[in-house]
Structure 1
Amino acid sequence: MHKFLRAVGFSKIKDRKELTSLITSSIQNAQKRNYVTNNENMILAEFARDYADGIGIAVCGEFDDDDKFIYEYYYPYLIPSAVSTEEDLNVERHAATYSYAGVCNEPRLGVTLIFYLQNMVPYIKYENEGKFPIRGTTLSLSALSVKGQIMMPIAKTEEEKEVAKKKINYRNKLINNARRGDETAIESLTLDDMDLYTTLSKKIRKQDIYSLVDTYFMPYGVECDQYSVLGEVLESKKVINHFTDEAVYIMKIDCNGIEFDVCINEADLLGEPAVGRRFKGNIWMQGVINYPESN
């Protein structure tokens, strides 16, 4: 059973029989159906059904010679609501299934962003047509979480927020210059990191870590598309899974300057989300590549 199935409101499914019934229902009552022929002349299909506004289950597989659908795998999803980054992307197929992982070198995060690709079928179509590389693509991100908590924000004046924003913009410029081989920028970043480490080492003896660290984004566990995050809640809404009647929170958060949506079951979230508060949790990152022709 998929670990993140409970994030979209299916926490009470306990056995294979219930799961099979859910998958069958998702295929038979799919609201979105996508088909594509791969380079091995197999017809791949993806059936997706929403169980609340923006959340649902996608079932993927292939058709055999008798036009019978053979189920291969499924995954829960949250449809992202906005563009998160315009940085260049790379996509690689997973070894075991016809699914894909995307890679984005987003300098604001400080780590290489790896995500599970939601819109697999359009990618395969472009690949078959030999249209890569495509200029002007953007990336919309979303995430599922099975454990999280709401934290209060760090008190800041408007002046302090403006100063922090300028520092972040300056650091992002240095990172971009460093990626181009600018030695001065590399030295400046190294010195800044050393100063930051020294300052934190002194303050952490007397202050709580979450009063010093406003936001973070770092890998979690051994799977490359899972992360531990802390970010500011920009929007929040509660939706009800109409199949199970379970309540689910969908939040838009700002993490290191990157905005993306997070979905979590109400039972797995400690605290009440509200704009301005912070979300801390472990997430499975998903992404949708927006192609220029489809905009």
Structure 2
Amino acid sequence: MHKYMRAIGFSEYTDRKKLKELLTDVIMNSDHRAYTMNQEGILLGEFSKNHTHTKGTAESGTFGVAVCGEFDDNDKFIYEYYFPYLTGSGITSYEDVSVERHADKDSYAGICDDIKVGISLIFYLRNRIPYIKAQSTGKLPIRGTTLTLSGLSLKGSILLPIKKDEEQVLRVKKDSANRNKLLAAARQGDEDAIETLTLEDMDMYTTISRKIQKNDIFSLVDTYFMPYGVECDQYSVLGEITEFRLVTNDITGEKVYILTILCNELTFDVCINEKDLYGEPQVGRRFKGSIWLQGYINFPEE
């Protein structure tokens, strides 16, 4: 079983028989179906079904299961793989996105270089069909796309926020804006910007090294977004909760939290089973956990 099925409330689905019944139901009673021909002339199909009480694919903040495969010469669907998903809300990034196919199956990874994070964000592409359609018709690259990120988590905890007055909040925003300008200049090869960023990082390292001897690390670090483990689309995150809701899986009855978090100035949704979340989420508190990052590319024609 896909290990992140637990995140959307299928923690008890551990045997193949129950999983097969679930996937058959997704194919036969899907909320959304998408088809396209690839460059080899093979008809690809993707079936998805939401498993929250809110039905319909247009609803943000819903989770479900997607089944992918292809059709043979007799128009019979051949199952290839499945994955759990969370439909994110809003737009996370306006930066350009690159996409590459995975080696083992017809799924795709996306890469987004957003200067606010400082690293290349690698995510699992949720809507592969529109991308394959654009690829097979020679419409790539497509300009004007946006990106909506979401994450599934198997383990997380709630931390109290760092107390900041209004002046500190404004100073943080100003410093962040200045840093983003320097990062943008550094990406263009500006040597002065690169030197300034290097000196700032050295100063920050020195300050944290001194303070960490007497303070807890999470009272010094407000937010972070960094790679986790050996898989390239998994990250460890710490961010402020801006919205949250507790929803129910309509098949298993398990409770699942959907948290909207602000992490390194990126806003995205995270889905986690109530059993796996330590602490009580509230707006203003922080979520700390590891996530499997998914991305939905919003194409202009969609």
TM-score in terms of structure 1 length = 0.99
Residue pairs, 1:36-55, within 5 angstroms = 36-52=36-52, 53=54, 54-55=62-63
Paired position in structure 2 for 1:29:
29
Paired position in structure 2 for 1:56:
64
Aligned counterparts of 1:37 and 1:104: Cα–Cα separation in 2: 26
**Is structure 2 residue 240 aligned with structure 1 residue 211?**
no
Alpha-carbon shift at residue 25 of structure 1 (Å): 1.1
Return the letter of the residue paired with 1:94: H
Paired position in structure 2 for 1:71:
79
Query: Does the residue aligned with 1:153 lie in a helix, a strand or coil?
Result: coil
Residue pairs, 1:56-205, within 5 angstroms = 56-205=64-213
Paired position in structure 2 for 1:286:
294
Residue pairs, 1:15-26, within 5 angstroms = 15-26=15-26
Q: In the TM superposition, what whole-angstrom CA distance separates every residue of 1:99-123 from its partner, at most 9, and x where no partner exists?
A: 1100011111121100011111011
Aligned counterparts of 1:216 and 1:101: Cα–Cα separation in 2: 22
Query: Does the residue aligned with 2:51 lie in a helix, a strand or coil?
Result: strand
Aligned counterparts of 1:21 and 1:180: Cα–Cα separation in 2: 53
Alpha-carbon shift at residue 136 of structure 1 (Å): 1.0
Question: Kindly, what percent of the aligned residue pairs are identical?
Answer: 60
Aligned counterparts of 1:207 and 1:136: Cα–Cα separation in 2: 45
Alpha-carbon shift at residue 293 of structure 1 (Å): 2.1
TM-score in terms of structure 2 length = 0.96
Paired position in structure 2 for 1:261:
269
Gaps of 5+ in 2: 55-61
Aligned counterparts of 2:134 and 2:89: Cα–Cα separation in 1: 23
Return the letter of the residue paired with 1:23: L
Paired position in structure 1 for 2:59:
none
**Is structure 2 residue 281 aligned with structure 1 residue 273?**
yes
Alpha-carbon shift at residue 195 of structure 1 (Å): 0.3
Aligned counterparts of 1:162 and 1:260: Cα–Cα separation in 2: 22
Aligned counterparts of 2:12 and 2:299: Cα–Cα separation in 1: 37
Alpha-carbon shift at residue 151 of structure 1 (Å): 0.5
Return the letter of the residue paired with 2:29: N
Query: Does the residue aligned with 1:67 lie in a helix, a strand or coil?
Result: coil
Aligned counterparts of 1:205 and 1:249: Cα–Cα separation in 2: 35
**Matched pairs, number:** 294
Gaps of 5+ in 1: none
Alpha-carbon shift at residue 16 of structure 1 (Å): 1.0
Q: In the TM superposition, what whole-angstrom CA distance separates every residue of 1:60-115 from its partner, at most 9, and x where no partner exists?
A: 00111111111100000000111000111100011111111000111111211000
Q: In the TM superposition, what whole-angstrom CA distance separates every residue of 1:169-198 from its partner, at most 9, and x where no partner exists?
A: 100100000000111100000000000000
Return the letter of the residue paired with 1:217: F
Query: Does the residue aligned with 1:41 lie in a helix, a strand or coil?
Result: coil
Alpha-carbon shift at residue 34 of structure 1 (Å): 0.5
Paired position in structure 1 for 2:57:
none
Q: CA RMSD in A?
A: 0.7
Query: Does the residue aligned with 1:131 lie in a helix, a strand or coil?
Result: coil
Return the letter of the residue paired with 1:183: E
Query: Does the residue aligned with 2:280 lie in a helix, a strand or coil?
Result: coil
Which ranges of 4 or more aligned residues in structure 1 deviate by more than 2 Å? none
Aligned counterparts of 1:2 and 1:151: Cα–Cα separation in 2: 28
